[in-house]
Every structure is written in structure tokens, then in C-alpha cells.
Amino acid sequence: MGHNDCVLNIPYPPADVKEKNLYYARLLLNNYAGQNGEMTAITQYLYQHLISEECYGELSDSLECISIVEMRHLEMLGELITKLGGAPLFRTQNRGRNIYWSGKFVAEIQNPRKFLIKNIEAENVAIRDYKMRICQISDPMIQNLLERIIRDEEHHITIFKRYLAEFEKSE
């Protein structure tokens, strides 16, 4: 698997909105900076890239590449939040309370087999959350972008499953 195999060759629709909507902006903050959001994915995969570099070079390269794709998602969600009239801060809201993004959200798992299983679970949660947003947000421009992001997350699951199969073969 090469470094660019993590990038789907499908363009993203523009990060545009029909009109300002603070409710939509608040919903997207969960995907942006929630415990299972893009900020967590970026830092999780960067951590895994760094700890696996020495022994698992190819896996490490893929994790770095995927973290960069997640960074692009973070940027696009931040653009949507801003255009919706919200502030792209690294926090969510629960019952009017601000919950700030935290490094505690990054799992300190060092075993590649174990963290790949966790990554697959996390990507499935992300997909579920994006599908929920598509139902909650009736702006077709936002829906199209979220559908495109889901395709990346599904692609990441395929990559993680491929590495997991390799580790299970060698056990």
C-alpha cells in the first residue's frame, strides 16, 4: 500500500451552506471537535503514526496519510460551522455547557492489532454520526459534503482491515 492509497480520487463538493443556522453549526461541532470527531481522529492517527514508524513503516505512512485526510475534513467542517454563523472552536455543547476537546480522547494503545480494531470501531462511529447529521440537517449542500466525507471514512476502514488481516496472518 502506497502513501497516497488513503486518498480517494473523488473531488469534494464545496463547503457551502444555504443560509446561516446556529443549530446546524452546533450539531457539526460534535463531528468537528467531539470525542469521536475529526480532531480526535487526526491526533489519534498521528500518535499511532509516530509510535509505529520504527517497526511498521508502511502502516505508519498510511496512518500519517489518513490523519492528513482527517485534517481536510476538520477544515471543511470548520468552514461549514463558520458559514452557518458558528465559531469553529474546539468544543461541543451539552445542555448549555461547553465541553472542550481534550487529549484524553486519544487512546494510548500501542499494539497495532489492537489500535487497528479501535480505529475501525471509531470510523464506524464517525460514519454513524455523519449519517445522523445528514438526517438532522436539511441543507443539500451540507448533506453532499457529509456524504463525500463518509466515503473517505469507509475507505479508511478498508485500509485498516487490510492491515489487520496482515497482522492476523502473521500471528
Write down all domains in the chain, each with its CATH number in brackets: 18-89+99-169 (1.20.1260.10)
Q: Which long-range contacts (CB under 8 A, 24 or more apart) does 112-118 make?
A: 112/48, 112/52, 112/56, 112/59, 112/163, 112/167, 113/164, 113/167, 113/168, 113/171, 115/48, 116/160, 116/163, 116/164, 116/167, 117/164
Longest dimension (CA), the chain: 54
pLDDT band at 168 (very low <50, low <70, confident <90, very high): confident
**DSSP type of residue 103:** G
Write the pLDDT tens digit of every residue in 49-84. 999 999 999 999 999 999 999 999 999 999 999 999
What span, in angstroms and rounded, lies between the C-alpha atoms of 100 and 48?
Answer: 23
With residues binned 3-state (H G I as helix, E B as strand, rest as coil), the percentages for the chain, rounded to 5, are 70, 5, 25
Interior angle at CA 115, CA 109 and CA 118, nearest 5: 110
What span, in angstroms and rounded, lies between the C-alpha atoms of 130 and 70?
Answer: 14
pLDDT at position 4, please? 59
Q: Which helix H or strand E contains 92, and what residues bound it?
A: strand 91-94
What span, in angstroms and rounded, lies between the C-alpha atoms of 142 and 140?
Answer: 5
**11 near 144, Cβ under 8 Å?**
no
Q: Which helix H or strand E contains 98, and what residues bound it?
A: strand 97-100
pTM, rounded to two decimals: 0.95
Which positions ≥6 away from 97 have C-beta within 8 Å?
none
pLDDT at position 94, please? 87
Write the pLDDT tens digit of every residue in 64-73. 999 999 999 9
pLDDT at position 85, please? 98
